[in-house]
A and B are shown apart, each in its own frame.
Chain A
Amino acid sequence: MSTSISERPTVVAPSVRRGSVKVLGLLTFALVLVGLLSLALGSRYIPLGTVIDVLFHDDGSEAATIVHALRIPRTVLAITVGIALGVAGALMQGHTRNPLADPGLLGVEAGATCAVVIAIYSFGIDELSGYAWFALAGAGIASIAVFAIGSTRRGPDPVSLVLAGAAVSALLLAVTQAIVVRDADTLDSYRFWVVGSASGRSLDVFWQVLPFVLVGLLFAAMSTPGLNLLQLGDDVAASLGLTPWRQKALGIAAVMLLAGAAVAACGPIAFVGLVVPHVARRLGGVDYRWLIPYSALLGGLLVTGADIIGRLIVSPAELQVGIVMALIGGPAFVILVRRTRMVRI
């Protein structure tokens, strides 16, 4: 008997997915490559060599004009929005401990949409940089309301937060639809904004949202280490020396800033924030210190890639990035979910 105890059966440790600097480097490289491709491809193809030439020496040629006036703004925006949405999605799923949570659930998208529709309907605004301010304001107000409703004095409560987000979103969506259903002119502008697109924006929009994205990323970086402990539950996290409500407030504030900036820049691009963290978890495991940078890079890749595809498949016309992403990303996500084992959070 005593020998059998010492001869314990060898336990094969399940292979744990972990992040690595190598994959991170590869993803960064891929993002740079896709960014360059985004400058080169379109209804008029510009060779990569020329792109790099005119990128640094604006010689006033046709290629230089196309690259600088049209393609740099949308590429920069697509990458920024993708990074913001990827990080926001990972934070959101971590803080609500719900794999179905996406940044839109905080009411950010519904708030921005409602504000834009009011801008179109009441103030007759019809330019994209005008929309951006309204979208930012709407996203901010809506998400603060959700935060207030979904929080106890001990900080945000995951289930309440998600339900509050759903309720506030539904309310704002009702207001939006009530306007849109009754006014065809507003519908006509709104239906193009609401699918989400990176095209037709100038660099001004980028500078408008950049501060919000940067502060959001800073908050995200600050709240990430604690996020791992929060997964063990508030009580355990508190006993390990964390202040749960402060961590959560920081994380949720990051989600608001990032998702709000994204929706202001490109309209509501659904699906990225929800799906990217699941893909990232498959590549890099559940440690949020890896998951957040993975999600950022994957988000950038996904949005930029979808934007390129949208330019190419119906050339010379264009398909909005939000539509492309879900039309191609949806089935791809289904295949991914089917083929690999579920990673639980």
Chain B
Amino acid sequence: MATLHATPLRLGGLSWLVPVRAALVSLVGAGVLFFLVAIDLAVGDFPIPVGDVVRTLFGGGDEGQRFVVMELRLPQTAVAVTVGASLGLAGALTQTLARNPLASPDILGVTDGAAFGAVLVIVVAGGSGYGGGLVSGQLQEIGLPIAAFIGALGTALLLYLLSWRRGLDMQRLVLVGIGLGATLTAATAYLLVNARIQDAASAQVWLSGSLSARGWEHGRPVLITLAVLVPLSLLLIRSLNAMLLGDDAARGLGVRLQLTQLGVLIAAVGLTSVAVAAVGPLEFVALVVPQVALRLCGASRPPILASMVAGAVLVVGADVITRAVLPFALPAGIVTAAVGAPYLIWLLVRANRRRTA
């Protein structure tokens, strides 16, 4: 059973493979996720018992509790869940497509594009920047996610155009992505070095990825994107499985290679850019969550569903820690790394010990 991670299920004339362990991991993960969401909604300046939170979520609770849970806290928690799921899914897709555990959307330069867009707005147009308050206050708050989104999409488009040469070669795509990403990172560093220290500081906060004070205006785009792109990704699973055998073998099995690659890229880029626009670059999630899910499920490629669940668990968990455990405010991006990294390290150490024993 340890090696077989999918069990054939037969129903009359139909039969399909059920990845038992992945399904189990996803189910347990969903349970943990629900528990964390309840805690995340319960803690704060006005603590509400977890039981009341669950009752409120399902339509009960009194007026005050409903206001606090549904109006004040739910938006931020929803952003955490959806962003985590988006990044987990995007990471699983790119790592499967490139057959490389390092190929997260961050390495494709998409995140760097978003960061450049956002830092440009903070530094050039910010209240104390070169623009001399040209864009400030409300306008900057709305402009920041939009600038990040435009930066990410523009980078992705450039990436696709530059890597296209009689077809799409995954290795060329990744290398072009690295080149683009390095250029944009340097441009961001240039802006930071020349910025006033106040602007550099607020840019640093954005660059660390923050969940605080996120409302529905941040959550809605992520939700819509997920609703569109998750079904697309699920449709692509069969082709992705075939592509694990190599491009030629996949073509032999009837996979339309270019179309699948384009679909996966659109999904990954869409998910990443919307997520990054909402909370800033949580760089670590897309890289590590699929690898953690892979090790939990014992699968041959990063599992799609389990990665989404694990991503959501990680980001919501980070939000809980940020708000309830830490005595001072810290951007959520830092906490996700501080929580996720030791866990991956532990998984690696355990796997190595088992292999040598």
Interface of chain A residues 192 through 239 with chain B (CB within 8 A): 192, 194-195
B348 contacts A164, CB within 8 Å? yes
Alpha-carbon distance between A32 and B295 when the two chains are bound, in angstroms: 50
Q: Which 8 A-B pairs have the closest CB atoms?
A: A330-B183, A326-B186, A171-B341, A174-B337, A153-B356, A334-B179, A333-B179, A326-B182
B189: chain A residues within 8 A (beta carbon):
194-195, 320, 322-323
Instruction: Provide 26 A-B residue pairs closer than 8 Å at the C-beta atoms, listed in order of the A residue.
Output: A99-B171, A99-B174, A149-B352, A150-B348, A164-B345, A167-B341, A167-B342, A170-B288, A171-B337, A171-B342, A174-B334, A174-B337, A177-B208, A181-B204, A181-B331, A182-B328, A191-B193, A191-B200, A323-B186, A325-B186, A327-B186, A330-B181, A334-B176, A334-B183, A337-B172, A338-B162
Asked whether, in the complex, the Cβ of A173 is within 8 Å of the Cβ of B337, the reply is yes
State the CA gap A188–B198 with chains docked (Å): 10
Given known contacts A181-B331, A323-B186, A331-B179, A338 and B349 CB-to-CB distance under 8 angstroms: no
A298-340 vs B, Cβ < 8 Å mask (1 yes, 0 no) = 0000000000000000000001101111110111011001100
Contact of A100 among B103, B288, B328, B356 (CB under 8 A): B103
Quick check: is B165 within 8 A (CB to CB) of the other chain?
yes
Q: How far is the CB of A146 from chain B (nearest CB, A)?
A: 9
A152-B352, A178-B330 in contact; A163/B344 too (CB < 8 A)?
yes
A297 within 8 Å of B (CB atoms): no
A99–B184 Cα gap in the complex (Å)?
21
Q: How far is the CB of A196 from chain B (nearest CB, A)?
A: 9
Q: Does B236 contact A (CB under 8 A)?
A: no
Chain B residues near A98 (CB, 8 Å)? Answer: 100, 102
B340 at the binding interface (Cβ < 8 Å): yes
Contact across chains for B176 and A338 when beta carbons are under 8 A apart:
yes
Closest to B356 in A: A153
Number of chain A interface residues as a range: 35 or more
Q: How far is the CA of A105 from the CA of B107 in the complex (A)?
A: 13
Interface residues of A (CB under 8 A from B): 98-101, 105, 149-154, 157, 159-160, 162-164, 166-168, 170-171, 173-175, 177-178, 180-182, 184, 187-188, 191-192, 194-195, 270-271, 274-275, 278, 319-320, 322-327, 329-331, 333-334, 337-338, 342, 344
- Interface size for B (C-beta < 8 A) is 58
Whether the Cβ atoms of A326 and B355 lie closer than 8 Å is no
Contact code string B142-171 (vs A, CB < 8 Å = 1, else 0):
000000000000000000001101000101
Number of A-B contacts (CB under 8 A): 165
Alpha-carbon distance between A140 and B284 when the two chains are bound, in angstroms: 23
Contact call B340/A170, Cβ cutoff below 8 A:
yes
Q: Specify which chain B residues have a CB less than 8 angstroms from the CB of A323 in the assembled complex.
A: 186, 189-190, 193
A182 CA / B351 CA spacing, docked (Å): 37
In the complex, whether B180 has a CB less than 8 A from a CB of chain A is: yes
B165 proximity list for chain A (CB < 8 A): 338
- Say which residue of B172, B190, B205, B341 sits within 8 Å of A319 (CB atoms): B190
CA distance A18 to B333 in the complex (A): 46
Contact B208 A274, beta carbon cutoff 8 Å: no
CB distance from A319 to the nearest CB of B (A): 7
> Which residues of A sit under 8 angstroms from B277, Cβ to Cβ?
none
Residues on the B chain within 8 Å of A191, using CB:
192-193, 200
Of chain A, the residue at the smallest CB distance from B102 is: A100
Inside 8 A of A178's CB, which chain B residues have their CB? 330, 334, 338
Q: How many angstroms from the CA of A333 to the CA of B185 in the assembled complex?
A: 15
Nearest-CB distance from A304 to chain B (Å)?
A: 18
